[in-house]
Chain A
Amino acid sequence: MEKKSIEMGVDKTRYLNQAEAEGFKEIVPDDFPGKVIPGGNGGNIVVTTLDNVINWGRSNSLWSLYFGTSCCAIEMMQTGAAKHDYSRFGFEVARPSARQADLIIIAGTIVNKMGPVLRRLYDQMAEPKYVIAMGACAISGGPFFYNTYSVIKGADHVIPVDVYIPGCPPRPEALLEGMIMLQQKIKTENMSNKVNPIDGFDEGEI
């Protein structure tokens, strides 16, 4: 028996025995959506609901679209770079194609010419899809609210927004906070009661 295990390359039994002898305990993260019951044979049994597991997976693997239209994009890049590194929270990579993305972070001003483009990118994304409006311009037009002919007064006149992050531009910590809030929102979703945010979406005036 022992000889056979060596031939197969991995000797699980020996490894687990060793680990237990050295005081090894399996670590389950605090936010793991379910109860882990040791199976007694080296494996575990997980008790949970599908909703919990799916939401857990979705919220911890959000790929964002490259969408930086002005200076907020610099803060977004900084948030993705080494010092703040949003990969730590599961925002693993940014995608250049809307079809591969779960999330748009609207980092910058949306002008009238950009409005239809933003809407098209949103429509190209596969569901479920989420939107973060980052910074004053994306929330309300910000510094361009008055006396401008070319700026849309808030990205929520074009597409539905999940999380608003104030600031001009917001610091990377603020963006991370907003992204974590989006994760919390995703964790409350329910498969039997799905809501498509574009249904009944009100663009409002202007």
Chain B
Amino acid sequence: MTNEKIQNIVNGWGEGFEFSEEGSEFLNVVVPKEQLHSVCSQLRSHPDLNFDYLFCVTGMDWGEELGVIYHLESITNRHNIVVKVKTEDRENPTLDSVCDIWRTAEFHEMEIFDFFGIKFNNHPNLKRLFLTPDWDGYPLRKDYVDEANMIVK
């Protein structure tokens, strides 16, 4: 299915989606965070789209906003889409978990919580994955400061 057709289908699901293909191999869609879970479950269950494979989840700090990027592929239909979601709340950023749709998101979301401090609603086991449980702060945020270990250039 072409990116144009995918865009038309997704656009019918709600308001406030931003699409772009600029500088990307895939179709990008920025989704309001309230609609993230419903859009993802429709991407998964829609018979023509059938995005059954979540192959990458990335945490992101754009400086002002924090967010998550989901790379999806349909194994049966051989097409891709990139879903982006942003939140401006840096104190207590919270998004909906998609691990009930794609089980693999469970560990990816743990890792993003570990490094960016983004919390995921309805996640079964949200805790530090790579860092020690008593770690202070979220080291991949742009404003992270660690005077003991970091030599800033």
Contacts and interface: CB of A to CB of B under 8 A. Distances in A.
Interface stretch (A89-97, A129-137, A142-150): A142-150
Contacts of B144: 149
B149 A147 contact: no
Interface string B134-153: 00000100001010111111
B152 A147 contact: yes
A1 interface: no
A150 B137 CA distance: 13
Nearest to A152: B149
Interface size class for chain A?
10 to 19
A112 interface: yes
3 closest A-B pairs (Cβ-Cβ)?
A146-B153, A149-B139, A149-B146
Contacts of B146: 149
A187 interface: no
17 contacts: A145-B151, A146-B151, A146-B152, A146-B153, A147-B150, A147-B151, A147-B152, A148-B150, A149-B139, A149-B146, A149-B149, A149-B150, A150-B139, A150-B149, A153-B151, A206-B149, A206-B151
Given A146-B151, A146-B152, 15 more contacts: A112-B149, A113-B132, A146-B153, A147-B150, A147-B151, A148-B149, A148-B150, A149-B139, A149-B144, A149-B146, A149-B149, A149-B150, A150-B139, A206-B148, A206-B151
Contacts of A147: 150-153
A151 B47 CA distance: 47
Contacts of A206: 148-149, 151
Nearest to B149: A149
Nearest to B139: A149
A149 B146 CA distance: 7
A206 B152 CA distance: 13
Contacts of A150: 139, 149
Interface in B65-95: none
Nearest to B144: A149
Nearest to B130: A113
A112 B135 CA distance: 12
Contacts of B149: 112, 148-150, 206
Contacts of A112: 149
Nearest to B137: A149
A115 to B, nearest CB: 11
B18 to A, nearest CB: 32
A117 to B, nearest CB: 14
B131 to A, nearest CB: 9
A146 B153 CA distance: 6
